[in-house]
Copies of this chain bind each other. A is one copy, B any other.
Amino acid sequence: MKKIKVFEVGPRDGYQNVSALIPTQEKKKIIDGLAKSGVTHLQVTSFVSPKAVPQMQDAREVAVYCKEHYPKLDILALVPNLRGAKDACDAGIRHISYVVSLSESHNKANVNRTREASVRELKEIAFSYPDMKICVDVATAFGCPFEGKPADGELIRFVGELYSKGFREICLCDTTGVANPRQVREAASAVMETYPDIEPAVHIHDTRGMGLACTLAAVEAGVSRIQSTLGGLGGCPFAPGASGNTATEDLVYMFREMGYETGIDFEELLKLSKYQKSVIEGNYSGHHVMITAPQACGKRGGR
């Protein structure tokens, strides 16, 4: 039975797209619920400027809470720069994600610098924090809202550049949901064949309904690390047209039904997703909604 490592990135990627501030207490409760459901890899926050992303102003508190309460889990935080890496490290984080876009235009829109400058900063972070595990999220790996599909070989060349600088944890991110299953399969296979000691992850959006199809294509190509968000939250504030990520509960359900092992309890996760929905809608009273129909409740849930 093949094992899938689910990386829940909702508390970072999902919440940063929610405009109303989610109380820190509620974030902790949802993280508790994720841990209880069996999620073992959690990207819990982002050490960005609270001015740029007010939702992440409690980054330190959330990170400290997670490291204290869940010392055995793989707790990640996203950092946009060296300053963020310092804050993450100070809060006890030992595994960070760092985003570089494959496309120059998206990198500029996202972090206001060239890709080269982003890679330079990444090297500096790695040099300054040698004990920090670093996952490089390659954004717009399958296409960019400004530049379209990457040129043939562009992705694998860039992965090679990261590889040559010592990075082995690489996530191929479909930032705006333009990937199709064939593309995901081919990209993941190319990375694994060219660099057998890279264990790639994928980060897939469900913009055009292909979330699970692309995720499955990755897994059947040999990928075992999947990023997703509870409830299918997410998107990208700096990429027009981006909509939600693949919902964790949807993929946990699919993989369970197909005989894969995620270690995550689908029913618990589904309850939690409904609870999270009530929290985000500002409608939480401590009551959990009882689930009667056996169906996933990503964005699809309401219909």
Q: How many angstroms from the CA of A210 to the CA of B216 in the assembled complex?
A: 10
Asked whether, in the complex, the Cβ of B206 is within 8 Å of the Cβ of A209, the reply is yes
Asked whether, in the complex, the Cβ of B299 is within 8 Å of the Cβ of A181, the reply is no
Asked whether, in the complex, the Cβ of B241 is within 8 Å of the Cβ of A294, the reply is yes
Residues in chain B near residue A211, CB distance under 8 A: 209
The 9 closest A-B pairs by CB, nearest first: A180-B257, A213-B213, A209-B250, A212-B213, A182-B258, A208-B296, A180-B258, A213-B216, A241-B293
A interface, size bucket: 20 to 34
A residues adjacent to B (C-beta < 8 A): 180-183, 206-213, 215-217, 241, 243-244, 247, 250, 253-254, 257-259, 293-296, 298-300, 303
6 A-B pairs besides A180-B257, A181-B216, A210-B212 with CB distance below 8 A are A182-B257, A183-B258, A206-B209, A206-B300, A208-B253, A210-B254
Q: Tell me the smallest distance from the CB of A261 to a CB of chain B, in Å.
A: 14
- Given contacts A181-B258, A216-B213, A243-B295, whether A250 and B208 have CB atoms under 8 Å apart is yes
Residues in chain B near residue A183, CB distance under 8 A: 257-258
Asked whether, in the complex, the Cβ of A209 is within 8 Å of the Cβ of B303, the reply is no
Q: How many angstroms from the CA of A190 to the CA of B206 in the assembled complex?
A: 30
